[in-house]
Amino acid sequence: MLSKNHPVADKYKEWTYDLVRKDVQNNTFPYAVLMQNLSYDINIGSFIRNGNAFGAEKIFYVQDKKKFNPTGAVGSHHYKEIKYIKYLEGLSEVKELKEEYYFVMFDTGIGAIPLDRYCWHDMDKRNRKPLLVFGCEGTGLTEDMIQLADVKLEIKMFGSVRSLNTAVAAGIAMNSVATYFNGLRKYER
């Protein structure tokens, strides 16, 4: 049984870890997220927390180091499938994901489509699920990863900053795709 102080939604307060994990996995949307070489454990944890909050079915963690301090995840890492892929050595493993996923890269670069203009329903025509891909704030995605992009999106900003924290950007993007899939569920029921 989880303690009353455990940071889960109220409906889970009296559940076991295994039951929460099973319920969370049974209520995901058909998309996954990938983080590459994120700096700072708080970003990694926040990214995982967003994946949990917005129903990503899988989280891929492409990094040199496997261990991270999960404080930023606030316990959400217990309930999601997180697949670690060692950077560089795992590039062929990342390429194999193309069979199942349509790579949606997020970047502030030239030629990216604004997220608010992107039509998620186009994903249905590709017979692959979206994989939202994010890189480190300072260095972005590696060239090898960018080459795998099926589409590049950007989050439009209106202030003086040049970029967003990766976990913040990922949360905005995950909310967008989860809102789309949640709308489909309403019509399927």
Residue 5 has pLDDT above 60, yes or no: no
- pTM assigned to the model: 0.88
Please give the radius of gyration of the chain, using alpha carbons only, rounded to the nearest integer.
Answer: 16
Please report the pLDDT score of residue 4 as a whole number: 55
Residue 146 has pLDDT above 80, yes or no: yes
pLDDT (tens digit per residue) in 26-69: 889 999 999 988 777 778 888 888 999 899 999 998 876 666 66
Please state, rounded to an integer, the average pLDDT across all residues of the chain.
82
Lowest-pLDDT choice from 8-12, 16-20, 67-71:
67-71
* Farthest-apart Cα atoms in the chain, separation: 50
Evaluated on CA atoms 165, 167, 173, 179, the torsion sign reads negative
For residue 133, what is the DSSP state?
Answer: E
Residues 136 and 125: their CA atoms lie apart, in Å, by 30
Residues 103 and 167: their CA atoms lie apart, in Å, by 18
pLDDT (tens digit per residue) in 63-115: 766 666 666 555 566 667 778 887 767 688 889 999 999 999 998 777 899 99
Is 46 in contact with 137 (CB distance < 8 Å)? no
Please report the pLDDT score of residue 189 as a whole number: 47
Amino acid identity for residue 133 in this structure? V
Q: How many CA atoms lie within 13 A of 95 on its CB side?
A: 7
